[in-house]
């Protein structure tokens, strides 16, 4: 199985290099990774351009600056990245937030889960925020409903993503929750893998 990734990013200069470095280290890399700079005004674009020059599978798409901040912007940025993938043959499409770092076998692990489960439509794993910083936390997945998949890092079977209509641009948010819930409504399995 193969996959593509999209990362909507707005002013992520402090974090995006860590995300890129962890993707370059993946044992199973994507066919293409489109990082959509959603009107960034910091050094985000320069960092992405530097890595895109070294890795042909990384692409920067720049959207114009905008003043408003709303959750629908992430859906629109993701759609702009997804449009860039239509010429590729791929099995899975993922959202990866610009402030996430991953172990090198992260996507290899998820690819195996999709290969084992033909009805798996959306998958992910728990995340841990930097507990050394004030105000940060870890999500207690042990007590959570494992059919929900965190929007920070979701991987969809392409057919599932297309059936749910992708991320719906809703100003108030919950675009990831809506996509996962709609997938289950359409008969797909959704899963957070604790292991």
Task: Confirm if 20 and 58 have CB atoms less than 8 A apart.
Answer: yes
pLDDT band at 137 (very low <50, low <70, confident <90, very high): very low
* Residue 160, token pair as written in the block: 């599932």
Length of the chain, in residues: 195
Task: Confirm if 154 and 95 have CB atoms less than 8 A apart.
Answer: yes
How far apart CA 55 and CA 105 sit, in angstroms, is: 19
Which residue, among 166, 80, 73, 125, has the nearest Cα to 183 in the 3D structure?
Answer: 166
- Which is higher by pLDDT, 122 or 69? 122
Mean pLDDT for the chain overall: 90
- How many angstroms separate the Cα of 73 from the Cα of each of 3, 45, 67, 107, 183? 23, 17, 11, 26, 21
Q: What is the pLDDT of residues 82-102, one digit of tens each?
A: 999 999 999 999 999 999 999
CA atoms within 13 A on the CB side of 192: 21
Does residue 143 surpass a pLDDT of 90?
no
Using CB atoms within 10 Å of the CB of residue 168, give its burial: 0 to 12 exposed, 13 to 18 middle, 19+ buried.
middle
Q: What is the pLDDT of residues 3-56, one digit of tens each?
A: 999 999 999 999 999 999 999 999 999 999 999 999 899 999 999 999 999 999
pLDDT at 25: 98
Determine how many CB atoms are found less than 10 A away from the CB of residue 111.
20
Residue whose entry in the numeric block shows the structure tokens 């996959």:
3
pLDDT at 142: 58
């Amino acid at each position: 199985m193969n996959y593509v990734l999209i990362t909507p990013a707005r002013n992520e200069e402090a974090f995006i290099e860590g995300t890129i470095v962890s993707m370059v280290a993946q044992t199973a890399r994507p066919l293409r990774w489109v990082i959509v700079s959603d009107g960034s005004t910091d050094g985000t674009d320069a960092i992405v351009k530097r890595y895109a020059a070294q890795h042909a599978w990384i692409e920067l798409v720049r959207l114009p600056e905008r003043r408003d901040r709303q959750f629908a912007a992430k859906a629109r940025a993701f759609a702009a990245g997804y449009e860039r993938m239509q010429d590729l043959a791929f099995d899975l499409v993922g959202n990866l937030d610009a402030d996430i770092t991953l172990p090198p076998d992260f996507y290899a692990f998820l690819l195996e889960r999709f290969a084992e489960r033909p009805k798996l439509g959306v998958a992910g794993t728990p995340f841990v925020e930097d507990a050394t910083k004030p105000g940060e936390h870890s999500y207690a997945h042990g007590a959570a409903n494992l059919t929900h998949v965190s929007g920070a890092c979701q991987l969809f079977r392409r057919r599932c993503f297309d059936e749910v209509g992708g991320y719906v641009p809703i100003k108030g948010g919950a675009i990831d929750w809506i996509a996962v819930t709609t997938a289950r409504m359409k008969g797909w399995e959704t899963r957070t893998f604790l292991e």
